[in-house]
Structure 1
Amino acid sequence: MDNKSIAPQLDQLRNEIDEIDTQLVELLAKRRRVTTKVGELKSKVGMPIYAPEREAKLLSMRRQQAMEAGVSPELIEDILRRLMSDSYISQDASGYQCVNTECGKIVVIGGSGQLGKVFVDLFERSGYQVEILEQEDWSNSDNILAGAGVVIVAVPIRLTSMIIQKLSFLSKTCILADVTSVKEMPLYEMMKVHKGPVVGLHPMFGPDVSGLIKQTIITCEGRLPEQYNWLLKQFQVWGAKIYPVDALAHDQAMSMVQVMRHFSTIAYGYHLMTEGADISQLVEMSSPIYRLELIMVGRLFAQDPVLYTDIIFSNHDNVAMMKRFAYRFLELLEDVEMGDKDAFVTMFSQVSDWFGDYADIFLQESKAMLLKANELKKD
């Protein structure tokens, strides 16, 4: 049997595949029309777009169905997750219910900035009256802030305290909030200057998000939560997860989650540069995991240096944390210099035990991420 002899059969099979693919596209379009209607219904009653229980149940059912049909459950889950992501986008386009129609206007100070724009867009799509206050508008700030039901400070960390100090004349019923990545200092300043409801917010996402579905907003209680709870409900309607935490505990966690991570990444990028590393060669010779690490390093250096400088320099206590990190780095380096493999293995095992079940969870999650990263790799 040669290529010519199988050509008719091959063409017939390919035609069948093309027909099936056409049906798939038509089914996907039909599914999207249905999810759009779901979004419209949810919008009318204020239901959150993201329903984790429904999603988990659906994935479990379809994985079981796939196994019974002799299809890879991982493939089906991957397809379904992409479909769900698309359906969330279609539901997002339907707009959102306005949780509090009586709140008055919402003023976002720094609303033209990258993160501020995200909130301005979502509030407007929920039917709120929104005004933006920028640096050039302060001569007219009394008029802009008059009658505000919510004021959100969305300015760089280095300007946050100064801006908050200008807000002493807000109505006692007005909610004052900030969205900076440090919380103890802004919360203290807001409580000092404003006698009404106060809440500290830390959106755990960047300005490139298309919506808040599955995004986390950390909240730090300030004053009168019963008066600002509707605002948190609005975030949940948008699809966000609310994670409440004490302001001090937040800043201590961020010193490890953000400050140490950014500082280490910057130091590594600086090291690569000063060593004269050939980035194109490193990329070509990288395993998927190292390529992903390089992507994360390069991604940081493609952004605003002042933003990351502000985060790292935001709290002097961060210096002590970074010194402890440097000490542990040198401690491990000494084991390598001395050739003490036993000490190194012991340390590794201790850290592995400390991670516990999370080590295996992160291993599986990273495998999925690496598969996605490999699919996106450009030849």
Structure 2
Amino acid sequence: MDLDQLRTELGDVDRQLISLVARRQALAAEVGRIKRAAGVPTRDYGQERNVVQRVRDHAEEQGVSPDLAEALVLLLIRSSLTVQERDRVAARAAGTGQRVLIIGGSGNIGRWFARFLGSQGYAIELADPVPPPDELTDCAYLADYRDTPLDHDIIVVAAPMPATNQILHELARRRPSGLVFDVGSLKSPLRTGLAALVEAGVAVTSVHPMFGPDTELLSGRHVVFVDVGVPDAVARAKALFAPTMAVQVELDLDSHDRLIAYVLGLSHALNIAFFTALAESGEAAPRLAQMSSTTFDAQLDVAARVARENPSLYFEIQHLNDYGTESLAALLYAVERLRSVVRAGDLDGFTALMERGRAYLSSRRTEVP
């Protein structure tokens, strides 16, 4: 066959692949329906391992790279799980007849909660000086939450952190009857507002979804619930995520921010330091790209994503955390230790750093399908 014929045949194969993917998605949706009816969890890691191994074995028989086959099937599994989780959330319909007010609803995480709670049947009302995007035109909208009687079943505060504490104090003065929770990345700056709500007798808790607003599948994602002294409010907030596969974690306020200083603060600082060192090195990015390595490319990819994030939010995570300087001091100390063993030509000291890191990282419990 000539080149045009080969390309035509490749196009036919591509269309067949897409048709097979569509068929697989339909079968996965039916599997999800049967699981819901039987009360079986959506995700079965043992079954996923079996599927992956079968695909790898078959790929080897066909002369196809097992790694390529595994990557493809894991992508399909993830897509199927996303469909099953979305269907499970919708089928639960826990919010039917109930109303949710999302303060800051036009922001990224506010829009995520609008979609998530809307899929459960809640009637969504957005309060934000900025009108919502077209994707949320079916939600009720007002510019100022203070223009409502606050008689909603749930109030979600998704405003920037400096404004959130003020909003929490205002809510405490008005004492809404529904569940109230914020979704801030830090809780230290919200301490007084949360305490005021508790004092006012409001059903309040604090939630931290540990994922970005573009997240669809919650399997393997963590949602942190901070108990500020109203256990029933924690239980009600956790119930919102019950139909998903998210990992639910309960923490007190101080433990949350101490851990976030490392989980977010340290990782952000490390990447900011990395791209700052590169930017100030005098080495042009295209030239460095010609000398790339696997490790450098992976780190550069993460650093590039960090560089595109909101500087104000990232500054707040560093500056407003009561425990923020702790992780920065640890980073400085670690860099200085590395610098000292390198300058001293201390192979044993360098090896000890590597071995300690290897032991720590291998001890982390991971769950791989």
Provide TM-score, normalisation by structure 1.
Answer: 0.78
Residues 218-237 of structure 1 show CA distances to partners (whole Å, capped at 9, x for unaligned) of 11122433355243222232
1:99 match: 94
Q: Greater shift after overlay, 27-36 or 89-98?
A: 89-98
Tell me how far apart the structure 1 counterparts of residues 252 and 348 of structure 2 sit (CA, whole Å): 41
- Aligned partner of 2:280 among 256, 270, 274: 274
Does 1:29 find its partner at 2:22?
Answer: yes
Distance 1:65 1:273 in 2: 44
Check if 1:84 corresponds to 2:77. Answer: yes
Give, in whole Å, the separation in 2 of the partners of 1:15 and 1:270.
48
**Any conservation in 1 of the 2:103–2:127 contact (CA below 8 Å)?**
yes
Counterparts of 2:144 and 2:308, CA distance in 1: 35
Structure 1 window deviating more from structure 2 (106-115 vs 311-320): it is 311-320
- Pair member with larger Rg: 1
Between the aligned partners of 1:285 and 1:118, the Cα distance in structure 2 is 40
Contact 1:191 1:198 in 2 (8 A): no
Q: Paired residue for 2:209? A: 203
Q: Which residue of 1 aligns with 2:156?
A: 152
5+ residue gaps, structure 1: 1-6, 369-379
Could you say what secondary structure the match of 1:176 adopts? Answer: strand
How many residue pairs get matched?
352
1:231 aligns with 2:237: yes
Match of 2:121 among 124, 127, 131: 127
SS in 1 for 2:185: coil
Once the two structures are superposed, the pairs formed by residues 352-367 of structure 1 within 5 Å of their partners are 352-358=358-364
Cα distance change, pair 139–348 in 1 and its aligned pair in 2 (3 A): closer
Deviations, residues 341-372 of structure 1 (Å, cap 9, x unaligned) = 2222233223333334449x79xx8xx9xxxx
Which of 165, 171, 177 aligns to 1:161? It is: 165
Alignment of 1:118 onto 2:118: no
Partner Cα separation in structure 1 for residue 99 and residue 38 of structure 2: 20
**CA distance in 1: counterparts of 2:52 and 2:326, whole angstroms:** 50
Q: Distance in 1 between matches of 2:276 and 2:161?
A: 24
Contact 2:43 2:81 in 1 (8 A): no
Residues 340 and 289 (structure 1), Cα distance of their counterparts in 2 relative to 1, 3 Å cut: closer
1:258-303: per-residue Cα shift (whole Å, max 9, x none)?
1111112112222212222211222232112211211111221122
1:2-27 Cα offsets, whole Å, 9 max, x none, are xxxxx79xx99999988776654433
Tell me whether 274-283 or 70-79 shows the greater mean CA deviation: 70-79
Distance in 2 of aligned mates of 1:334 and 1:221: 43
Specify the code of the residue in structure 2 equivalent to 1:80: V
Answer whether contact 1:191 1:222 (CA < 8 A) is retained: yes
Secondary structure class of the residue paired with 2:153: strand
Distance (whole Å) between structure 2 residues aligned to residue 210 and residue 14 of structure 1: 35
Change (3 A) 1:41 1:121: farther
Q: Pick closer, same or farther for the CA change 1:60–1:16 going to 2, 3 Å.
A: same
Quote the offset at 1:129 in angstroms: 1.2
| Percent of paired sites with the same residue | 23
- On the 8 A contact 1:219/1:243 being kept in 2, the answer is yes
Q: List per-residue Cα deviations over 1:111-141 (Å, max 9, x = no partner).
A: 1001111001111222111111224799853
* Residue pairs, 1:34-45, within 5 angstroms: 34-38=27-31
Corresponding letter in the other structure for 2:49: L
Is 1:59 matched with 2:59? no
Which is richer in helix? 1
* TM-score w.r.t. length of structure 2: 0.80
**Code of the aligned partner of 1:174:** G
Deviation at 1:192, TM superposition (A): 2.1
- Computed over aligned residues only, the root mean square deviation of the Cα atoms, in angstroms, reads 3.7
For 1:182, the equivalent position in structure 2 comes to: 186
User: Quick one: distance in 1 between partners of 2:47 and 2:38?
Assistant: 22
Is 2:270 aligned against 1:264?
Answer: yes
**Change over 3 Å in CA distance of 1:100–1:142 after alignment to 2:** same
SS for the counterpart of 2:156 is: strand
Distance 2:7 2:319 in 1: 60
